[in-house]
Amino acid sequence: MKIIFSILSVILIFLLVINMDIDRNTYNTMEEVLEDKAINRGWIPTIIPASSYDIREVHNIDTNHIDGSFYYHEKDEMTFLEQFNEHNLTWNGFIFTIDRDNNFVRFKSL
């Protein structure tokens, strides 16, 4: 029993240490992103449409790796897509995956 407790304690400590370096943020609108200065910090790409909503980002403070997603309104789709070459969905250190059917975008740092 003492061995099991020791193993569980080590696993718990390990999980706590791993999660300490990760920060998660959710924003309902671009106004909230701007208020939190998430773009200035580099967590959110500057080219996401003004109509973006349900914006989520996860970043690792130690590695500076960023994963995120957002939805956008149809009216901003063409302006957003014009930022990319049709075969290259990278922009300023981010790579994008775009689901045009659902107006949904995933992004991550390179």
Kindly provide the residue ranges of all beta strands, DSSP E only, lying in 1-110, ordered along the sequence. Answer: 22-29, 53-60, 66-71, 90-91, 94-99, 104-109
- Residue 47: band (very low, low, confident or very high) from pLDDT cuts 50, 70, 90: very high
Q: Could you identify the residue written with the tokens 């981010």?
A: 94
In a domain, 16, yes or no: no
The pLDDT value given to residue 10:
59
Q: Mean pLDDT throughout 70-89?
A: 90
Number of domains in the chain: 1
2-29 pLDDT tens trace: 676 666 565 655 655 555 588 899 999 9
What values do phi and psi take at 94, rounded to 5?
Answer: -125, 150
Query: Is residue 91 included in any domain, yes or no?
Result: yes
pLDDT single digits (tens) 82-104: 988 877 899 889 999 999 999 99
Q: Which amino acid is at 81?
A: L
Domain that residue 44 falls in: 23-109
Supply the pLDDT for residue 64: 83
Strands 22-29 and 90-91 turn out to be unpaired
Helices (H) and strands (E) in the chain, counts: 3, 6
Domain membership flag for residue 43: yes
**Residue 8 resides in a domain:** no
CA distances from 98 to 17, 34, 48, 70 (A): 33, 22, 12, 10
Residue 32 lies in a domain: yes
Does the residue 12 lie in any domain? no
Single pTM value for the model: 0.78
For residue 97, being part of any structural domain is answered with: yes
